[in-house]
Chain A
């Protein structure tokens, strides 16, 4: 299959792995930011190909994983309102809230529907004019333009029974929070290719300069990731720290200006809590004043009034450390024992981009006993 097979080519991958081995003379720790990259690494066993000198640690780039418990609780509460239909991407359903998940809310009679695009939810709002359609807006900069477009279309076509529960987060503030934290062990980043497709990589340049850290915009296929690692290792060995673009077939320095304009027209930056990590200033999006009437948190303020604003997280779950690359899923004592996809303690075990889910699915549960 074109655009896939050439990036999964065994010979090319082995050549790159050899080049990494030849280049790395010292131990280096590199973080892949995006959960999609984490899954590729574990699914294709890329770490088997890497030399011992290069350690990959997994980053916070799983939007499902970092959505705070309090917001999941709010989504569950909204789903329990008889006149509300809650639309969500499929992988939010199993993420545990304080007491239950959206699957349980659905089984309990809530109208919860899986969508593939925010525009599906908008069409549902048109088809069901007597119901309130609330769309759980989860994601990084990648999915924000589609939600912005849905809101603009709702506005222009006069659809009033549509709103968003916004949980959008932004990547650069999270990278900066990690870099400025004491004990940060990340020496180089593979930045998330899809996020940069929308946003470009201009905004990463000050980060690379300020924290003296190489940042390589990287794709998601095995050859992409190995090439990204090679570029980062080469920079580290040469003492350089700049932004480079491995994923040039998708990403331009300035990104997709139209998509950015759409996001800027509908959303405004806001501080947001990240599950397991805590509050990060200006690390999320909220609907701006023009579109605030589409904000489900405001529209259903009364019904959400007594929803716990903190949320209750399992205290043994190490997802915060895992999402910051401070430990691996298999370092967690609950991994594969108390925490499984059937009974997850934290979101990374159930999200399709979660690091724990990747290890459980592709490495097997026995890994923990190793």
Chain B
């Protein structure tokens, strides 16, 4: 399956009055009906959403329901390897996957800025629909609001997601045990650097493409092979370092990782060196960390590597005892240092 499908710039335009979003498109009248019919339903095309009610209903099967929400405000709207639409699907699908859930349904809430071109909206919506089809989830309900020009940033999307965790599966930081192995599903930092280089117009060598992708099938495969997953965490904002710190704090354990084992592509490392950023804090949108009993670690890595989105999966470290805390990094020189939480976003350095 192709995850990094480029957005087709030549998508057919819907028959709409005018070619930009107007305030009236959010006003509840005919224009809004047209927008929903011609853009959203046309692309999402789900039998449930054709009811156009305020919500969708669906029967539930056995297991536990997982529910999550996330908002997407990325700029630029389109970046190498994805766009805000595909990101809004992958992000929420992955949040569900990190609970051990099989993602089923998404909602899509759009906040559109007056003056946005309908063509841009259509591209994003088409990409979102394609991402949902690829991930095997349905977008079953949605909402659209239009804000005055200057009050938004083109498109903001909120997606909420519902999935089902199979009976008997419990995934979370409290299940982490001293001695667990820590795996990452692939190389780190590509998404953040792809977006940053696009946003800042940085002409970086190499073709850095976002890692944005759904990872739920990898998780399902691990569960299907009876891997006892203790905890999963997607490595989004704040990257690996922030995720490990949060988990160590909640689980009440120390974590040790080996810098030499953490995969980062040379292009990403180069860009980070240049900008003064640490790739371990850079955002990913298709990467996760898994805490697995040491005895199953090698088998889990092999299973993960069977999937395109996790073909560079690797063991990077382990969980220490409850007497330790925080995250310790063994450096490339074999010395040790703390891998701390950052205050906020990394700021590019001066020279």
Please give the residue numbers on chain A whose beta carbons come within 8 Å of chain B beta carbons, in ascending order: 1, 4, 8, 10, 13-14, 36, 42-46, 48-49, 63-64, 89-94, 114, 116, 138-140, 142-143, 194, 222, 341-342, 351-353, 360-364
Contact = CB atoms under 8 A, between A and B. Distances in A.
Interface string B197-210: 00010100000000
Contact of B347 (A10, A93, A139, A362): A93
Contact of B348 (A10, A45, A90): A90
Given A116-B200, A352-B276, A364-B326, A138 B334 contact: no
Contacts of B350: 63-64, 89-92, 138-139, 143, 351-353
A255 to B, nearest CB: 16
With most chain B CB atoms within 10 A of its CB, the pick from A4, A142, A352 is A352
A38 to B, nearest CB: 13
Interface string B324-338: 001000011111111
Contacts of A139: 350-351
A49 B333 contact: yes
B335 A114 contact: no
B349 interface: yes
B202 to A, nearest CB: 7
Contacts of B347: 90-91, 93-94, 114, 352
Contacts of A143: 350-351
Contact of B340 (A4, A194, A360): A360
Contacts of A364: 326, 338, 340
Contacts of A93: 347
13 contacts: A10-B334, A36-B351, A43-B337, A48-B336, A89-B348, A90-B347, A116-B275, A142-B351, A341-B343, A342-B343, A352-B349, A362-B340, A364-B340
B269 interface: yes
Given A116-B348, A139-B351, A49 B335 contact: yes
Nearest to B336: A45
Given A116-B200, A360-B340, A364-B326, A222 B351 contact: no
B263 to A, nearest CB: 13
B328 to A, nearest CB: 9
Nearest to B328: A364
A192 B78 CA distance: 41
Given A91-B350, A116-B348, A45 B335 contact: yes
A64 B331 CA distance: 27
Given A42-B337, A63-B350, A63-B351, 13 more contacts: A13-B333, A44-B337, A45-B333, A45-B336, A48-B335, A91-B348, A92-B350, A138-B350, A139-B351, A194-B351, A352-B347, A352-B350, A364-B340
Nearest to B325: A366
B62 to A, nearest CB: 46
With most chain A CB atoms within 10 A of its CB, the pick from B270, B273, B334, B337 is B337
A44 B331 contact: yes
A166 to B, nearest CB: 15
Contacts of B8: none
Range of interface residues on B (Cβ < 8 Å)? 20 to 34
A360 B341 CA distance: 10
B266 interface: yes
A64 B273 CA distance: 19
A252 to B, nearest CB: 19
B66 to A, nearest CB: 33
B348 A44 contact: no
With most chain B CB atoms within 10 A of its CB, the pick from A14, A44, A64, A93 is A44
B266 A1 contact: yes
B335 A1 contact: no
Contacts of A362: 337-338, 340
A4 B273 contact: yes
Nearest to A138: B350
A351 to B, nearest CB: 8
With most chain B CB atoms within 10 A of its CB, the pick from A64, A89, A138, A194 is A89
A91 B337 contact: no
A138 to B, nearest CB: 6
Contact of B337 (A45, A89, A94): A45
B332 A10 contact: yes
Interface string B267-291: 0011001011000000000000000
Nearest to B264: A1
A8 B273 CA distance: 13
A8 B332 contact: yes
Contacts of B270: 1, 4
A353 B273 contact: no
A370 to B, nearest CB: 13
A361 B335 contact: no
Given A8-B332, A116-B202, A352-B276, A363 B337 contact: yes
Given A4-B269, A342-B343, A364-B326, A44 B335 contact: yes
Contacts of B202: 116
A5 to B, nearest CB: 8
A92 B333 CA distance: 31
Contacts of B275: 116
A353 B338 contact: no
With most chain A CB atoms within 10 A of its CB, the pick from B333, B347, B350 is B350
A18 B348 CA distance: 35
With most chain B CB atoms within 10 A of its CB, the pick from A8, A63, A93 is A8
A360 B276 CA distance: 17
B269 A1 contact: yes
Contacts of B334: 10, 14
Closest 4 A/B residue pairs (Cβ): A45-B335, A90-B347, A364-B338, A352-B349
